Structures are given as C-alpha cells and as structure tokens.
Structure 1
Amino acid sequence: MTAKPKLRIYLCAPRGFCAGVVRAIDAVERALQIYGAPVYVRHEIVHNKYVVEGLKAKGAIFVEELSEVPDTDKPVIFSAHGVPKSIPAEAGRRNFLAIDATCPLVTKVHREAQSHHKHNRQVLLVGHAGHPEVVGTLGQLPPGSILLVQTPEDIETLQVADEANLAYVTQTTLSVDDTRQMVDKLHERFPLIVGPQREDICYATTNRQEAVKRIAPFVDALIVVGSSNSSNSQRLKEVGERSGCPISRLVLRAEDVEWDLFRDITTLGITAGASAPEVLVEEIMDAFAERFELEIEIVSTADESVFFPLPRELRPVA
C-alpha cells in the first residue's frame, strides 16, 4: 500500500460563523421551537446553502418578497443582511408577526445613514450593487438621499449638490484594503466628508481577512469554505490571491473540491466565511485526510468573544 503524501494544513482562526450569523440562525430555530412550522424568512437568513437547506428541513420557508407569504399568524423573519424600511412597513400593513434578525452591525450602518440624513448631509454608500445588505441600507432613506459608489472611478466622476455636506457609510463585508482605498479616495476628492466614528466593516470580516493575509504568502493553496453568493467569503478568496497564494478557491462542500488542482501541494490554508458552519470545514478536512497524511497547525490572529442577544420577541420571558 502506497504511503499517503504529507500535507501541512494551516487552519485560520477565527473562521466561520460570526456573532450576527449565529444570532440570525438561532432566531429562526427559536421561532420554530416557539411557534412551530412553518416560519417564513424573507431572503436567505445567511448566505450559505447548507445552512438554508438545514433550516428548510426543520420547517422554515424562504421567500424573496413578502407578497409570497400567505396571510398568517406565524412569524416572518428578516434576514441578517437587513431590509429597506418599506419591508417592515408592508409587514405592519399585513399584521404579520415580524421579527428582525438584521445583524446589529448592519443596523449600526443604517442608524449612521439616518443620522447623517437628519443633519442634511448627502450620504455616499461604499458597497456592491444588488447585494441584499446594500439594498437594505439604500432603502433606509428617501430615494436619492444615498448614492452608491462601487469603484474609485465612481468617486472621480461623482456629481454632488454640496461638497461641504457629505458623509459616507460602507457595506460591512467588503475587503478591508479595497475599502481603505475607497475611503482615501473619498477624502482626497471631498476633504470635508464625514465618516463613521468607528469603521463600518465588521470585526469578523476584518479578523478573517487578517488571518488569510498571514498564511497566504507561504501556502501552496488556500480553500475558503463558503457559498458563492457570500460577499465576505468571496473577499477572503480575493485576499488570498492578492496576498500571494497561487491557488485560491471558494468551496461549499467536499464534493466541490477540484482534486487535480491540489494533487501536488505540500501546504494548504483553510478558512471559512462568516456564514459557513464548522461542520463543512470538518467535512473538507476529512476529504483531504483520505488523500493525504495531515499535519495541522492553527494560525490565530484574534480572539472573538462577541455575542448578540436574540431579537426581543424570541427572548425567554424573565
């Protein structure tokens, strides 16, 4: 029997679920416990197909719009990404039991935008068009009150009514380096622009990117466990590429690994996006263990102890 080749795995820490994702998933599971199935969820609660399928199996019904929800006394839950103000208003009109599982760090961005608007500032949002978090933030204010900027070129060509009365907020799951570049460009073009007191990119995004930057220069390949529609997972893959890793792949399950790519590697980095459960990391590591003799080293760049309580409607009565 041929000996398996050796593979050293550098396992990033922290990785996987962040506090906002844990809270959102727990909210759906708790609502199912209290109210029974079905529970309706507007948009994927978090961007991970494995998590969504697991919740469907327990009785959650996912919809893209509230118009798909029948008249019901069952809970209707809003996803961790946040929603435009029109959505809770529609839920109120239909007398739904609405439960908002928006990540508190996204809610912070919404409040910043509302505060700037109250002070008559034009708000610029740094983010990716069409992402549910961006759609939700744009929908906090009247149309035209927030302008989306996606690239440095957008900033160069931007026309605003009053350059002395501007503020910016950012999507929470962007690349830290890209966002720094965008913010520098905003300050260069609009020296009087007002930013957030504490940056909007969430702690989990920053920490996971930092761990990838540490290992990417010296591993043969990097696997980011996560869904293709997960912004923070996509950014981790890009950070790996930019930090010098020759093979950087986003993989949801072990069955998605392109084994030919990894045949000749001797070192591998593994991390997981903030919406990817640890069980998928273990599944992929088990698949590598079938093909290689593993040595595992944990590379830790931060300790995470953040906790967000459940939405008020789901907390146990004292």
Structure 2
Amino acid sequence: MTPCKICKGGFLKIKKRRDVLKKVEVQNFEPIQKEKTITFSDASTDFLKQCQIKGLSPYTIQYYQKELKQTMRAFAELDVPLDNVQKVTTKDIENLIIHHQKAGSAITTINSRLTAGKTFYNYLINKGYVNSNPYEGVAKLKERHEVGATFSKSQLKKLLDAPDLNTFVGLRDLTLMLVFAHTGIRLTELTSLEVQDVSFEGKGAINVQRTKNRYARRIPLTDRLKTVLKYYITERGVLDHDSLFISVENRPLNERSIQSRLKHYGDITGVNKSVTVSPHAFRRTFCRLKVEAGTNLFVLQRLTGHQSLEVLKRYVQIYGKDLENVIEDGFEDI
C-alpha cells in the first residue's frame, strides 16, 4: 500500500530528525581525552633532558637541576602534592618563599629559585602538562645591589707571594692565582682552559672558549702573567691531554681542588680573616681595580664577559673616580 504524500513527508521529517539526534549523541558521548599528567620528579627529568638537547651549557643545566631539586624538597616539607604538577598553586609558591625566608635563605637564593621554577612551568605549559604557570604574578624579592668584598692591593700581593716557587705545585698555584687576578676569569672558565688557548704572539692572550654565556672572548696578557705562564707551561710539559692546569699526578685540576688551594693560601696569609679567598673574590677585585684605573665600561665588559652592564655599573657607583674629580667644581670661590 502506497503511503499518502502527507504521511510520506512526515516520515521523512521524523527520519531526518532521528539522524540529527544520532549525530548529537555521538558528539556528546564521544570519549573525552584524558588530561596529560606527570609527577614533579618526572617532569623535572624531562625538562633537564630538553635543556641538554637544546645545547644549554653544563653550568645552566646544573643550575636548573639544583634549583628544582631544592624546590621539590621544600614542597615535600610543605606537603604540596607532587604526584601531578597541575596541583601546584600560586599559594604554594608564596608559602615556598616564606619557607625559605624562615630558613634564613638569602634573597638572591630565593629569587634564583623563583626564576628557575617559572622557566620550568613555562616549559610544562608548552608540553601540555599544565594550563597556567603558578609562578606568574609572584614578584621577586627586592635585592640590595651590593658589591661583594674585594682584596686590597696589599692582600693581593700577600696571596701572590705565598706559593713556594721551588716546587711544581707552588709554580702552578701562582700561575692560576695570577690568571684569576690579571684576567677576572670565572672558575668554570679557568678549569676548561687548554694549553692551545694560550697565545704568546705579540702581547699574548688567553682565548676563553667555554664561557658562561657561550660567547668566546680574548683576554690580553699582562707582562707578568705572560712570563709566568711561559715558565709554567714549560714545566707542565707534554701530556696525553691538553688541560692547562694539572695535579701532581698530571690529571686535569678540578674546581674543588682549586678552591681548596685558594683557601689554603687565604689561611696561611691571614687574608681569609677579612675576605674569603675565592675565585669570585679575584674577579670582583679585577673589576674594582679596572674601574679605579678608569677603564671604559664597555671594554671591561668585553674582558670579563658580563652579559649586561648592570653588575659593572655597581663597581662604578662605588669605585669610580669621576665623583672625586668633580666634587670641587663650582666651589672654588666659596
């Protein structure tokens, strides 16, 4: 029996409506994709691996590793859930700051930790593990912009006169202290120096290849440093590796050994009583002496490898001679 036109039209409308409802049901009951979850520890490992792939310097990777480890330890003490990075809140970051303040952490330490954490969570956002950065909106603590302790010229002379030059160790220690004092080089840069990085042509120079900011730089040699380096390299001799500074066993000298030797000379000269003898104290002293001598700030930046002028400006504020040179101006007849 053939249906009438009205019935047939109604049947088609009902069928069309059913088809639409089926599509809506499929859309509404489609399985929802689960949110990506990862623990704080696993996320940290993933982040550090990506840092290595991106070619960040070992110094930078070590910095992130240390800061994230300390943050995770503090979070555990504060009962912050670490099973999912999504659960960390801005309130937790604020409590983290208070926790470090109560523990007596320096402002620079806290700010450094905040910087590392913010970078870490920006990475997690890009990976889709979190929707927002809990560090956003948390201001860094205000720091006092000070210049750390430096050696006086007499203290510097005491340190450089202390090594026994009748021994290889004494000659080596004088050489490395002289490199610190006359170039302002960083500890990590000094330990990475190789024999071929030293040139004696013309004025002579040290070519620092492995730097903190990954920009190689050239530091000319002073006359005294050139003389001592020549003598030391001759005594060092030819070895199966190229590290410039070595132990008595002919192995590359590591950072801890160098710090230990500097402490030794600080103790026997008594300099440690007023200024802790460290690679950075030599670096600060180098900057101070150059500023006092009127060295152009941009030239000093090229010598030291500072990323910006901000730190060097602090030396100018304290040690620059321009203030003394102009303080009498305008008062000659008063």
TM-score normalised by L of structure 2: 0.22
TM-score normalised by L of structure 1: 0.23
In terms of fraction of residues, the more strand-rich structure is 1
In terms of fraction of residues, the more helix-rich structure is 2
Q: Highest CA radius of gyration, 1 or 2?
A: 2
